[in-house]
Amino acid sequence: MKNIAFYYSPIGRLAITTDGSALTKLYFPDEIIPEDVTYRETDLLSETIHQLDEYFMGKRKYFTLPLKPEGSSFMQEVWEYLLQISYGEIKTYAEIAQKIKRPNAYRAVALACSRNPLPILIPCHRVIRKNGSLSGYRGGEKFKRYLIALELQYK
């Protein structure tokens, strides 16, 4: 059973789903929420809301929540690496491709970032293009810019 809770963030209403043991997806304000979820604020969802509050107040630099994003093995590898990027640090898709020992896979890294089911919690907003542009964020450039500025403010 999928449970869902809503979080009213400075960037709008976010929806967070869980499979009962781990977080599975975070939805931005303009995204369609599936119908096969039950609104129920579980302990895990309450803790997620608490940690998001701390994050948006600049008091939390890392999330300590069980995550279960669905994706290919390559996407999982990219998302695992994203969790190692420090708060307020910016990397490029090309740098991540180098770090995961696939130097020519920077476009695939960008695709994995854009399909990250748990943005903010898996910090794909900390990854930009080599030329400095912020495109490719599932929540849009406005949210990506906000999250980067937030982290730089409290770094």
Beta-bridge mates of residue 7: 14
User: Virtual CA dihedral for 24, 27, 33, 38, nearest 10 degrees?
Assistant: 50
Pairing of strands 37-39, 23-27: unpaired
Tell me if residue 124 is catalytic.
yes
- Which sign, positive or negative, has the C-alpha torsion 116, 120, 123, 127? positive
Nearest-5° angle of CA 27, CA 33, CA 35? 150
The single residue of 124, 127, 147, 148 carrying the catalytic annotation is: 124
Give the whole-angstrom CA distance, residue 97 versus residue 95: 5
Residues designated catalytic? 124
